[in-house]
Each structure stands twice: as C-alpha cells, then as structure tokens.
C-alpha cells in the first residue's frame, strides 16, 4: 500500500474499544525548517492524545493508582488544581467511569480550555492567578480545601508519585524506541514536575548520556534556582501550564543539566513560527520548549539528537497565542512605537484589522459581527470612508424605536441607527486627548486627516498604562 505521495505507507492501527486506548504511543516529527545548528531536533506530538495533551498520560496513571489503593471509590468525586490540561485529562479518563469532577483553574487560562472542560461535564471553579502558595484563594490550596469539604479524592498532581511514573514507564521508553536508542537531550518544562522527573529517572537508567534540559518562562523561580542556587521572588508570565512560584514535590531539579529562561515574547513567537514553518499547531508552553530547544541546539559544537514536545494543541489558544489583538494587548508583538495615539490602536483599519459594517447592512448583521469579534462598537464604512459609528446602545435604541411585536426588527438597516456626528482625534495626539472622549462615554475615533486609522477603547488605554514602564 502507498500513500498519496506514492511512498510506502505504515500499517494503520486496528480499531480500539475506548478513547483511553489511544493515550500514548504518540508520533515524533523532525523539524527541518529551523536553524538547529549541528543538531537534529524532534518534537513528540503529545497533542495527538485524545484529550489533546501530554496530561492524558498522568491522568490515566493517577486515577488507576487511586482506584487500586481505594482512595477513589465508584461514584466518587475527583478534585484537582490545574492549568487546564490535567483537568481535561482527568475528565477524559474519569467522567466515563462515573466520577464527579471538580476543577480549580487560575483565571489566566484560555477560554477554550475552560469551555472544553465544561462541555465535557466537569465542574469548573475559577480563582485568582496573581497570588502565591499559602493564600486561601491560591488554586492548589483551594482545591485541597474543596476535597476536604466534599470528601473527594484530591489528585495533587504536584506530589502524586503516579504522575512521574507515567512518563517513566511510557513516554521515556517511547522516545528511546522511536529514536533507535540514540537520544542526547530532552527539553522539558516544569508545571507539576512529572515529565522532568519521570523522563529523568528513565533516561538515567536506560540511556545515561541523555541530558535533561529545562525550559522555564521568565518570572518562574525554577531556572534561576538551577542556574544560581538562589530562590528569587516569582514574577508573572502569560504562558500556561509551565513555570512555578515554588518547587513542586514531584520536580527533581537535580536531574537538570541545563536550564533556559524564555520570555513570553520568545514563547509566543516560537509557537507561531512552528505553525507557519512546520504546520504544527501547538500551545504556548510548546513555544517555550521550542525556543529553549533551539537555543540548546545552536550552542552545540557536534551533532546531537534533541527531543522536545508539542505538549498540547494550539487550538486551545486561538483566542490568545494566535490572536494578533491579544498578543498586541499583552505587549508581546514587535510593533513600531510612534509616541502618540497610534501606539494604542489594537486593530488598524488599513491592515484589515477592524470589523466594520456598511450603512446598508442590517442590525442583524451588525449584531452578529459584534458578537463574533467580541467588540461593542463597529465603524461604519462606505466606499472606503468612515461615515458613522454603531455601538450596542445604538442597536438597542434602533430596535426600541420600532413598534413592539413588529416583524423584522433586526432587518432594519444600520444607516437608521448609526451615529454620524463624529468626534475624531488625530493619530498624532497624546494620550491625554483620550480622557475627555471617555468622559463623554464615547470611543476614540483615530484619524490621519481623512483616513480612518482605528478605534481606541478604555480597555486599550488600560492595557497601554499597564504595559508602560
């Protein structure tokens, strides 16, 4: 049998009886479009697990261990603190078995993860991400408290020995088999520490030459601790799922031979480059791993086989990592600074970034575009020129002017509801020019003479102030 390119095709696996049978045995791809120095760089596609991440492995292992020793009884409740993916793995494994699942997630988690968790049937409780261990609202402390209150099984991936065991017995052996026993380095991140410790233990025994390399987001305490021996005060970072403000019990840092601190900007750029260059849609933590792996490879002076991971799929981060507006709002985009209001425009009209309507569009069309783009106002463009602005209050007022019960309310046209008396501001103006506009409860309409540049909202100003030095 051959594939569509005429090459010999690998045999297809037989059918399985459960999605749990699809956990593990994930493929490895060599990256050939990046500058990897003298090395060959491979990524193991953990995004191919049925729950979409590497955490399926530990979920299966930790639930099985709890069932064996009686901590988890039929119909019981599973409670865990998670950045999202462990929760998805626990749901993937536990819900079909009849367990109730309560997950505590920090509020910086992507909406796709939270929506996925709720759709699969988990109870999701969101807590603050700007606090550290010991605070009552810290996600791990909250989960442990909920487990006590409900009599549930607190999974505690950060200290559960079945977590690293999953990687020691499955992930590590798979990598060694797939690279025919020749693995020089494995680049990992630390969230709970299970991947580092499990792989480190396996390779120390099965392939002593294999080095463990840590990729750590800037703001995390782990890489500085390894490199300097000093525990720094934790900062903040946008990457999800890796980096910590403490050393998890499951993280054996003595296994690490080299550590790299990776900024959010590097991580996001690497994840986006992985999609653009290799067609691999990966999440933010995978970008951190890739950036560190590329640095490690380029430092080498002789050929080596280096492996890292696509930890989860980028489809969980479409509203963040792959959203140009979000990236700009977080200050993670390389943008030319002008020192005026152009620096605050999140969506430039000339670049196709603004969502617009025409005067002839219906209120139904306008409302659909507002909801689809998650915006509250739309520029009204006719023949390339700005002729009005329409916001939610204008739509509501337009509907209210029609008689109650009249059919086709939403078929009324934008021209009948839009505001045409526009207060604009030149792009060369300073930030101070925004305050009077916002005091009038208006959005700032930025112009270059007769050319519409874009809109600035209160949120855009807040983001600008937050990111200003």
Out of 47, 285, 417, 427, the active site residue is 285
Would you state the structure tokens that stand for residue 139, as one six-digit string? 């996600």
Beta sheet of 451-456, edge-to-edge order: 424-426, 444-448, 451-456
In the three-class reduction of DSSP (H, G, I as helix; E, B as strand; rest coil), residue 406 is classed as coil
Alpha carbons within 13 angstroms on the beta-carbon side of residue 347 total: 20
Residue with tokens 């749901």: 91
Cβ atoms of 180 and 208 within 8 Å: the answer is no
**55: annotated active-site residue:** yes
Residue with tokens 């306008």: 366
Out of 47, 53, 55, 218, the active site residue is 55
**218: annotated active-site residue:** no
Residue with tokens 């969506």: 347
In the three-class reduction of DSSP (H, G, I as helix; E, B as strand; rest coil), residue 458 is classed as helix
Q: Which positions ≥6 away from 55 have C-beta within 8 Å? A: 85, 86, 88, 89, 312
Alpha carbon 400 to chain centroid distance? Answer: 41
DSSP character at residue 26: -
Would you state the structure tokens that stand for residue 98, as one six-digit string? 């009849």
Would you state the structure tokens that stand for residue 446, as one six-digit string? 């930025």
Cβ atoms of 401 and 467 within 8 Å: the answer is no
Alpha carbons within 13 angstroms on the beta-carbon side of residue 155 total: 32
Cβ atoms of 205 and 327 within 8 Å: the answer is no
List beta partners, residue 309: 44
- Return the H-helix or E-strand segment holding 379: strand 377-382
Could you give the residue numbers annotated as active site?
Answer: 55, 285
């Amino acid at each position: 049998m051959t594939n569509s390119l005429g090459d010999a095709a690998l045999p297809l696996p037989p059918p399985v009886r459960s999605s749990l049978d699809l956990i593990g045995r994930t493929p490895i791809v060599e990256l050939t479009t990046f500058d990897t120095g003298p090395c060959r760089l491979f990524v193991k596609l953990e995004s191919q697990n049925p729950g979409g991440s590497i955490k399926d492995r530990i979920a299966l292992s930790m639930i099985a261990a709890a069932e064996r020793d009686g901590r988890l009884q039929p119909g019981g409740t599973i409670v865990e603190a998670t950045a999202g993916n462990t929760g998805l793995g626990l749901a993937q494994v536990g819900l079909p078995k009849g367990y109730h699942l309560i997950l505590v997630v920090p509020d910086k988690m992507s909406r796709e993860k939270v929506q996925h968790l709720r759709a699969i049937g988990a109870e999701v409780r969101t807590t603050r991400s700007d606090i550290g261990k010991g605070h009552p609202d810290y996600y791990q402390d909250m989960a442990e408290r909920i487990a006590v209150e409900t009599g549930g099984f607190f999974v505690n991936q950060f200290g559960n020995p079945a977590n690293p065991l999953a990687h020691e017995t499955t992930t590590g052996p798979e990598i060694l088999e797939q690279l025919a026993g020749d693995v020089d380095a494995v680049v990992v991140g630390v969230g709970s520490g299970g991947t580092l410790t499990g792989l480190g233990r396996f390779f120390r025994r099965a392939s002593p030459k294999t080095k463990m390399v840590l990729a750590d987001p800037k703001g995390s305490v782990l890489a500085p601790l390894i490199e300097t021996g000093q525990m720094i005060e934790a900062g903040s970072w946008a990457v999800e799922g890796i980096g910590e403000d403490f050393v998890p019990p499951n993280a054996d840092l003595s296994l690490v031979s080299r550590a790299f601190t990776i900024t959010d900007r590097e991580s996001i750029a690497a994840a986006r480059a992985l999609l653009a260059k290799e067609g691999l849609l990966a999440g933010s933590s995978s970008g951190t791993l890739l950036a560190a792996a590329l640095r490690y490879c380029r430092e080498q002076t002789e050929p080596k086989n280096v492996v890292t991971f696509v930890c989860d799929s980028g489809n969980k981060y479409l509203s963040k990592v792959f959203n140009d507006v979000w990236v700009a709002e977080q200050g993670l985009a390389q943008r030319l600074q002008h020192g005026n209001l152009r620096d605050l425009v999140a969506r430039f009209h000339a670049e196709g970034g603004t969502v617009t309507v025409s005067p002839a569009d219906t209120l139904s069309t306008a409302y659909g575009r507002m909801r689809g783009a998650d915006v509250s106002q739309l520029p009204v463009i006719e023949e390339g020129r700005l002729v009005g602005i329409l916001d939610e209050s204008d739509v509501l007022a337009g509907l209210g002017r029609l008689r109650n019960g009249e059919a086709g309310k939403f078929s009324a046209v934008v021209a009948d509801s839009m505001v045409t008396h526009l207060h604009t501001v030149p792009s060369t103006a300073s930030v101070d020019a925004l305050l009077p506009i916002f005091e009038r409860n208006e959005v700032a309409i930025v112009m270059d003479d007769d050319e519409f540049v874009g809109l600035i909202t209160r949120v855009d100003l807040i983001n600008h102030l937050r990111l200003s030095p």
